[in-house]
């Protein structure tokens, strides 16, 4: 039992014995004591004031005095208004270090036997390469999956590839009209980039036609766009695709194949993977079937033009289109099918969709439609809604070709890492191959950390130059701190690092050592909270605070040159657990930490 749980249990008994009432466990709130106050844990006393019929201070005094008598770990307390600050025995912190110092899985929980959590992320379109927005999506999805696993959940990572629709047909049509048989091999381009170029080409040629229609026929821009010959051809190509025209399907399969090869290279470099990939070209068929079944059962209704709708007025929402008049599906149709497929495949306890906040309404409607269909998993859907990523230059637009390509960004990050690291002289004693690997992990670490340290719900501005800084709340600062600790441990030698915990007097613990131990103690709870909130930012910012605590300790105290041998050995154990916690925490973010730097 954790000491906080032991204290909470004792508080319930103390209130019962002293005030004759049983309080619900959720009323007992124990938090870390703020640094400006003396103490290790703080109990909020206000919920018990009415029961005690005393002032907050008097109530806290009674509870505090009883805790010192009844909980051996509690050796003192102080009262600040309605807050009871508790001080634990120094021996408690030493025992914690002794127990965890050799635990390679510190902070991680064993897997629980329960239904898995399905996490969907990435969800790219096959008409363009992955870009900066996809990077945030992929990093969030992978990290959330890893955090859930660390908290004991079984996780299934899935990807839904948007491989059908008018936008796919635009790339296909542009290649068919202007491509002259160009391939990734003939052009030397990655397949996803080649297809993306034709998506931009379509838009460029379409604009020319729109401008002509606006000037010559006086059409409004939107009407001109709809009636432009190129757009009409794209719509016709989509109809051919829906009818499974062999020639159309052949081009579609060829170009999608190019894109998948490109995606795989980017995913590998980014360090993300999936347990299963779904394709909308498959899921929309099941979605159509489920919608038709819902229509037959009276869950949905059909308008005169043949389109099928869901009336969501019961949920204080409007009507939602599920099938167009011509029988073709919409995004909602395929998401209905996808949800059913995932439920059939995994019997999940929860389905998490990592999708941008512009889709908030869509997922709210999806839950309601599944409820209309009386699906048992309707309440299992959770939309992890995240904010958009912008650059100092502003927003990105795919069809104008102004997106920041994921591969180009990673190249830039690695190159910036090389320049910064060499300028600081941090690679003087490292071989060329090691340098190359180091620049890669610093560049990618900087990118991942800068994105993941921001609360997922918030929009963010990504500045590559700011992300690679060896000071401040950055990936390189944390990586450098880990490398520094590993250097200390190498100098200590394997025999000393793997030795037993020395017997030192608990009273000899200084404030910096105790603060570091208290921060380390928090790691398992931070992992659990991050899994509940689906927020890698909590892990990132915790690791930053831990590194700051270590550097403050190391600035004031020597580890290896401490004259008291036992204290030196203790500090080696403290450094060892700190390095392991940094490594474990960064691993949850998909970030490698170097041994040397």
pLDDT tens-place string over residues 285-328:
999 999 999 999 999 999 999 999 999 999 999 999 999 898 88
- 521 shares a domain with 445: yes
Q: Determine the 3-state secondary structure of 279 from DSSP.
A: strand
- 472 shares a domain with 566: yes
- 544 shares a domain with 418: yes
Predicted TM-score (pTM) of this structure: 0.92
Single residue among 274, 300, 330 that ends a domain in this structure: 274
In a domain, 597, yes or no: no
- Over range 358-365, report the average pLDDT: 95
- How confident is the model at residue 464, as a pLDDT? 81
The CATH number for 567's domain is 1.10.730.10
Reference 104, options 514, 576, 589; nearest CA is: 576
Q: With bands split at pLDDT 50, 70 and 90, how would you rate the model's confidence at 193?
A: very high
- 232 shares a domain with 208: yes
In a domain, 125, yes or no: no
- 264 shares a domain with 322: no
**Each residue's pLDDT tens digit, 427-454:** 667 778 888 999 999 999 999 999 999 9
**Each residue's pLDDT tens digit, 39-57:** 999 999 999 999 999 999 9
CA–CA distance, 581 with 490 (Å, rounded to integer): 17
- 341 shares a domain with 311: yes
- How confident is the model at residue 400, as a pLDDT? 46
- 262 shares a domain with 292: no
In a domain, 352, yes or no: yes
The CATH number for 75's domain is 3.30.1360.70
Single residue among 274, 307, 341 that ends a domain in this structure: 274
Measured from the Cβ of residue 30, the count of other Cβ atoms closer than 10 Å reads 18
Which secondary structure element, helix H or strand E, spans residue 296, and what is its range? helix 280-296
In a domain, 53, yes or no: yes
The CATH number for 147's domain is 3.40.50.620
In a domain, 38, yes or no: yes
CA–CA distance, 525 with 543 (Å, rounded to integer): 13
- 294 shares a domain with 212: no
Single residue among 88, 104, 126 that ends a domain in this structure: 88
- 326 shares a domain with 253: no
- How confident is the model at residue 241, as a pLDDT? 93
- 338 shares a domain with 255: no
Q: Is the pLDDT reported for residue 355 higher than 90?
A: yes
- How confident is the model at residue 426, as a pLDDT? 66
In a domain, 26, yes or no: yes
**Each residue's pLDDT tens digit, 510-555:** 999 999 999 999 999 999 999 999 999 999 999 999 999 999 999 9
In a domain, 315, yes or no: yes
**Each residue's pLDDT tens digit, 400-421:** 445 688 999 999 999 989 988 8
**Each residue's pLDDT tens digit, 157-175:** 999 999 998 999 999 999 9
**Phi/psi of residue 51, each to 5°?**
-65, -45
Domain extent at residue 445: 406-588
Beta bridge partners of 78: 85
- 153 shares a domain with 237: yes
- 181 shares a domain with 327: no
Measured from the Cβ of residue 191, the count of other Cβ atoms closer than 10 Å reads 25
In a domain, 33, yes or no: yes
- How confident is the model at residue 595, as a pLDDT? 92
Reference 468, options 541, 417, 530; nearest CA is: 417
Number of domains in the chain: 4
- Over range 470-490, report the average pLDDT: 94
Which secondary structure element, helix H or strand E, spans residue 249, and what is its range? helix 246-270
Q: Is the pLDDT reported for residue 129 higher than 80?
A: yes
């Amino acid at each position: 039992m954790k000491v906080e749980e032991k204290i909470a249990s004792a508080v319930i008994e103390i209130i019962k014995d002293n005030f004759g009432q049983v309080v619900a466990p959720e009323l007992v709130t124990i938090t870390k004591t703020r640094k400006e106050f003396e103490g290790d844990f703080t109990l909020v006393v206000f919920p018990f004031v009415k029961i005690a019929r005393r002032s907050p201070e008097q109530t806290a005094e009674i509870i505090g005095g009883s805790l010192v008598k009844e909980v051996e770990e509690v050796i003192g307390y102080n009262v600040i208004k309605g807050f009871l600050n508790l001080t634990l025995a120094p021996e408690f912190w030493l025992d914690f270090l002794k127990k965890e110092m050799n635990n390679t899985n510190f902070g991680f929980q064993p897997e629980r036997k329960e239904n898995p959590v399905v996490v969907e992320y990435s969800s790219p379109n096959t008409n363009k390469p992955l870009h900066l927005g996809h990077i945030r999506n992929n990093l969030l999805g992978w990290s959330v999956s890893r955090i859930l696993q660390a908290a004991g959940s079984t996780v299934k990572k899935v990807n839904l590839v948007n491989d059908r629709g008018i936008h796919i047909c635009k790339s296909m049509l542009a290649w068919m009209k202007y491509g002259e048989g160009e391939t990734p091999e003939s052009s030397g381009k990655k397949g996803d980039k080649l297809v993306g170029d034709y998506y931009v080409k379509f838009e460029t040629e379409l604009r020319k036609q729109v401008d002509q229609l606006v000037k010559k026929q006086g059409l409004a821009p939107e009407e001109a766009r709809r009636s432009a010959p190129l757009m009409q051809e794209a719509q016709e190509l989509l109809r051919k695709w829906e009818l499974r025209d062999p020639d159309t399907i052949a081009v579609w399969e060829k170009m999608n194949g190019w894109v998948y090869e490109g995606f795989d290279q980017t995913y590998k470099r980014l360090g993300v993977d999936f347990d299963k990939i779904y394709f909308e070209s498959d899921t929309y068929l099941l979605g159509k079937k489920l919608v038709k079944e819902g229509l037959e059962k009276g869950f949905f209704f059909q308008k005169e033009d043949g389109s099928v709708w869901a009336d969501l007025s019961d949920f204080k929402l409007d009507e939602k289109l599920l099938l167009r008049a011509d029988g073709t599906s919409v995004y909602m149709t395929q998401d209905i099918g996808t949800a059913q497929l995932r439920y059939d495949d995994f019997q999940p306890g929860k389905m998490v969709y990592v999708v941008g906040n512009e889709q908030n309404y869509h997922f709210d409607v999806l839950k309601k439609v599944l409820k209309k269909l009386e699906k048992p998993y309707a309440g299992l859907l959770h939309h992890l809604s995240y904010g958009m990523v912008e650059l100092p230059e502003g927003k990105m637009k795919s069809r104008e070709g102004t997106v920041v390509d994921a591969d180009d960004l990673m190249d830039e990050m690695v190159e910036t890492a090389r320049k910064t690291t060499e300028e600081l002289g941090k690679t003087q004693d490292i071989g060329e191959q090691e340098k190359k690997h180091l620049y890669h992990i610093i560049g990618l670490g900087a990118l991942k950390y800068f994105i993941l340290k921001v609360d997922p719900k918030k929009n963010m501005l990504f500045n590559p130059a700011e992300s690679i800084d060896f000071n401040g709340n950055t990936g390189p600062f944390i990586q450098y701190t880990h490398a520094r600790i590993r250097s200390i441990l190498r100098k200590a030698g394997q025999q000393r690092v793997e030795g037993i915990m020395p017997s030192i007097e608990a009273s000899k613990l200084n404030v910096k050592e105790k603060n570091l131990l208290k921060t380390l103690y928090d790691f398992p709870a931070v992992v659990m909270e991050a899994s509940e909130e689906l927020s890698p930012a909590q892990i990132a910012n915790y690791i930053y605070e831990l590194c700051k605590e270590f550097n403050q300790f190391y600035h004031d105290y020597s580890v290896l040159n401490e004259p008291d041998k036992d204290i030196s050995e203790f500090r080696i154990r403290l450094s060892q657990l700190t390095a392991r916690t940094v490594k474990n925490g960064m691993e949850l973010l998909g970030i490698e930490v170097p041994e040397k730097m």
